[in-house]
Amino acid sequence: MELMYKSTRSEAYKVTASEAILKGLADDGGLFMPVQIPKLDVTLEALKDMSYQETAYVVMKQFLTDFTEEELKSCIEKAYDDKFDTETIAPLAKVEDTYYLELFHGATIAFKDMALSILPHLLTTSAKKNQVKNEIVILTATSGDTGKAALAGFADVEGTKIIVFYPKNGVSKVQELQMVTQKGDNTSVVAIHGNFDCAQSGVKAIFENKELAKEMAEKGYQFSSANSINIGRLVPQIVYYVYAYAKLLQNGEIEAGEEMNVVVPTGNFGNILAAYFAKQMGMPIGKLICASNENKVLFDFFETGVYDKNREFILTISPSMDILISSNLERLIYLIAGCDASKNRELMEALKEKGAYALTDEMKENLSDFAAGYATEKEVKEKIADTYAKTGYVMDTHTAVAASVYEKYAKESKDARKTVIASTASPYKFARSVMTSIDKKYDEVEEFDLIDTLEVLSGVDAPKAIEEIRNAKILHTLECDADKMEETVKKILIN
Ligand SMILES: *Cc1c(COP(=O)(O)O)cnc(C)c1O
């Protein structure tokens, strides 16, 4: 039976998985949700010995029911190959009594690779299935990680072009170098004279411009999105939680059916929502622990039942979590409202108008699978330094938010279940913050010298992604004012 998808904001219409992937966002501004979350149809015993790719297939086939076995397996094979620096794709590292699920072994050394290496294939397959003849143009605004992962994913994928906009002075040195050295004839990178919000608003305006869409269609192009609201990003992220449990089982760390907790450093709420889906599919997952940095809008939400983005935006050393509107939270709101689209729409309208909304008591009760915490900048730095001193393991700043939150949670709750921490970036991607957390003296050291030192400290070789940018040629030098983005897109596509 076909699993259909509907919007979180209306009952109006249903689409297939491939249609939902192509559209990204529903026409009413809602996010696509499957009409029910499917159960896994394999036993834990069977999962135990599966490769990452095999696990991906048994999980994803439950959601993408209009893909044939051949289509889905082909997407999986093209995605999870030697772009990853380990055959296990998402290894589990045991450090003291906790397990770090390392999601940063892909091409751009952050967890966005887990979904963005398969999304281009899901998208082009969906285009074929729906007889889309136009070339698909992916537009992305990025504050750093998503842009590079999307570029790497879409580079040289037939039938697609990708254009990434980033704030000229708003990304780290490594992040900028990673983007402007991107190869692939179908890739473009543009630096915006403005901040991330300018880039984001500019991209949204292009999406909403019906005239432009018509003009582009005449030239054989249609726009699409690689943002984390696309169901084609959420579904692949469920896989590694299923896989992590199976690895614990295989290694004899857990008994079949025994629950594991999951801790996720959270920004847009996509990654932790995937863990929640894994639990709904039937995996023995206990608590889902949502970890925030000093932008603790989610922590406050879980504490009080009130979501309120009216607060100061804080720049932290875990920039990929610096976010005040967690767009994927809408899917959870919809679920805890009993799949009531009108209730969800009411709250989302309040968020848009007043920047805040409050849950009903009944909705609050449906949040018992979750726990939440936050870590201050000082705690994050201490966690990196302490773990390194005690064990030699070096973690990045985002992972350290989760590790710090977990330490406090375990102490307060006495919850002794086995716990997996989602490790979302390589420490090499945030070398400066990581190294100065270990010792302030590194603040004086030049970027690539820091990387050499990190190799010595951690005993882990610098990943290929870092070596590549050391001497890579700058291939993208386009810049534009924030109000010239549409013109720039036209210039790139029509030249
Ligand atoms: C995107 C990102 C996050 C946040 O993930 P969400 O799915 O947005 O909650 C955490 N850490 C890193 C390194 C990221 O790139």
The reply to whether ligand 1 has any atom less than 6 angstroms from the CB of 34 is no
Task: Spell out the domain ranges in the chain.
Answer: 92-107+232-463
Question: Which ligand 1 atom is at minimum distance from the Cα of 266?
Answer: 9
Question: Which ligand 1 atom is at minimum distance from the Cα of 144?
Answer: 15
**What pLDDT score does 119 carry?**
96
Contacts (Cβ under 8 Å, ≥6 apart) of 66: 2, 16, 17, 18, 129
Ligand 1 mutation target, pool 229, 299, 328, 424, most atoms within 8 A of CB: 424
β-strands 135-141, 221-225 pairing? parallel
List the strands of the sheet with 14-15, edge to edge: 14-15, 5-7, 32-34
Q: Which two tokens stand for residue 7?
A: 């919007």
Question: Which ligand 1 atom is at minimum distance from the Cα of 273?
Answer: 7
Nearest CA, atom 2, ligand 1: 320
Secondary structure (3-state) at 288 = strand
The reply to whether ligand 1 has any atom less than 6 angstroms from the CB of 90 is no
Q: Considering just the CA atoms, what is the radius of gyration of the chain in Å?
A: 21
**What pLDDT score does 320 carry?**
87
Ligand 1 mutation target, pool 316, 320, 395, 433, most atoms within 8 A of CB: 320
Mean pLDDT, the chain, integer: 94
Q: With the C-alpha atoms ordered 226, 230, 234, 235, is the resulting torsion angle positive or negative?
A: negative
Q: Which two tokens stand for residue 186?
A: 């179908």
Q: Which of 431, 393, 465, 384 is nearest to 177 (CA)?
A: 465
The DSSP annotation for 113-178 comes to: HHHHTTHHHHHHHHHHHTT--SEEEEEEE-SSHHHHHHHHHHTT-TTEEEEEEEETTSS-HHHHHH
The reply to whether ligand 1 has any atom less than 6 angstroms from the CB of 106 is no
Question: Which ligand 1 atom is at minimum distance from the Cα of 269?
Answer: 9
Q: How far is the CA of 236 from the centre of ligand 1 (A)?
A: 15
**What pLDDT score does 227 carry?**
80
Q: With the C-alpha atoms ordered 246, 248, 252, 258, is the resulting torsion angle positive or negative?
A: negative
**What pLDDT score does 105 carry?**
97
Q: How far is the CA of 67 from the centre of ligand 1 (A)?
A: 28
The reply to whether ligand 1 has any atom less than 6 angstroms from the CB of 233 is no
The reply to whether ligand 1 has any atom less than 6 angstroms from the CB of 124 is no
Report d(CA 492, CA 495) in Å as an integer. Answer: 6
Nearest CA, atom 8, ligand 1: 268
Beta bridge partners of 101: 92, 422
The reply to whether ligand 1 has any atom less than 6 angstroms from the CB of 23 is no
**What pLDDT score does 216 carry?**
94
**What pLDDT score does 197 carry?**
73
CATH architecture of 92-107+232-463: 3-Layer(aba) Sandwich (3.40)
Q: How far is the CA of 425 from the centre of ligand 1 (A)?
A: 9
The helix (H) or strand (E) run that includes residue 223 is: strand 221-225
Per-residue pLDDT of the chain (495 residues; tens, 9 = 90+): 899 999 999 988 899 999 999 988 888 889 999 999 999 999 999 999 999 999 999 999 999 999 999 999 999 999 999 999 999 999 999 999 999 999 999 999 999 999 999 999 999 999 999 999 999 999 998 877 889 999 999 999 999 999 999 988 878 788 899 999 999 999 999 999 988 778 877 888 898 888 999 999 999 999 988 888 899 999 999 999 999 999 999 999 999 999 999 999 999 899 999 999 999 999 999 999 999 999 999 999 999 999 999 999 888 999 888 888 888 999 999 999 999 999 999 999 999 899 999 999 999 999 999 999 999 999 999 999 999 999 999 999 999 999 999 999 999 999 999 999 999 999 999 999 999 999 999 999 988 899 999 999 999 999 999 988 888 999 999 999 999 999 999 999 987
CB of 458 closer than 8 Å to CB of 392: yes
**What pLDDT score does 324 carry?**
87
The reply to whether ligand 1 has any atom less than 6 angstroms from the CB of 267 is yes
Q: Which of 288, 239, 237 is nearest to 265 (CA)?
A: 288
Question: Which ligand 1 atom is at minimum distance from the Cα of 265?
Answer: 10
Which contacts qualify for 155-158: CB closer than 8 Å, 24 or more apart?
155/182, 155/183, 155/184, 155/186, 155/187, 156/184, 156/185, 156/186, 157/120, 157/121, 157/124, 157/186, 158/124
The reply to whether ligand 1 has any atom less than 6 angstroms from the CB of 140 is no
Q: With the C-alpha atoms ordered 230, 233, 234, 235, is the resulting torsion angle positive or negative?
A: positive
The reply to whether ligand 1 has any atom less than 6 angstroms from the CB of 292 is no
Q: Which two tokens stand for residue 347?
A: 């709250």
Report d(CA 409, CA 36) in Å as an integer. Answer: 31
The reply to whether ligand 1 has any atom less than 6 angstroms from the CB of 199 is no
**What pLDDT score does 174 carry?**
84
**What pLDDT score does 27 carry?**
82
**What 8-state DSSP symbol labels residue 286?**
E
pTM, to two decimals: 0.94
Scan for tokens 């018509």, then name that residue.
214
